[in-house]
Amino acid sequence: MSTSPRRRAFVSLGSNVGDREAQLRAAGERLAALPLTTILAVSAIYETAPLELTAQPLFLNQVACIETALAPFELLHHCQAIEAAAGRTRTVRFGPRTLDIDILLYEGVESNDPELILPHPRMWHRAFVLVPLAEIWSHAKGMPEVDVAGLAAALSGEQGVERRGAVRE
């Protein structure tokens, strides 16, 4: 396990199969239990329509800001283990899923590795990521200077994002 300095990261969580809220809650608990990791803030939960493959149930989405000493690939592998524990199967790209966890940004890191592209390549075009991210962007130490709130506002009208809960800090 890494002994690197603690850095901030933003991760998105989504679910559209089974008890969606319970899946997000359990994923948050598992993220909080990761070694060398602290959750700094969690956005409200939003209900959103699927984008790429539209013939599937609505998603619940949220974003968490964490501080971690896990290296980016270690964090990725932990996130994939959390997905697997939730019954995630990868049969159809952009298809229904019990749980999806994506690393959006990792402080001071850019990556073009096929396994982990950072910043997340599609995040700037997805209201279901940007709207919850904007809520907790005040924790964005060491992140790119981007008008997240402006991008979120522009996309939320087009893509339909409905708030279901409160921000936790």
What pLDDT tens digit does each residue of the chain (169 aa) get?
555 789 999 999 999 999 999 999 999 999 999 999 999 999 999 998 888 778 889 999 999 999 999 999 999 999 999 999 998 877 767 678 999 999 999 999 999 999 999 999 999 889 999 999 999 999 998 888 888 988 888 887 666 677 776 666 5
Bond into 119 cis (ω within 30): yes
- Distance (Å) of CA 4 to CA 74, 83, 106, 144: 11, 24, 13, 21
Q: List domains and CATH numbers for the chain.
A: 7-163 (3.30.70.560)
Cα–Cα nearest to 115, from 81, 84, 144, 72:
72
Structure pTM? 0.90
Count Cβ neighbours within 10 Å for each residue of 140-163 and write b for 16 or more, e otherwise.
beebeebebeebbeebbeebebee
- Residues with a catalytic annotation lie at 88, 97, 100, 102
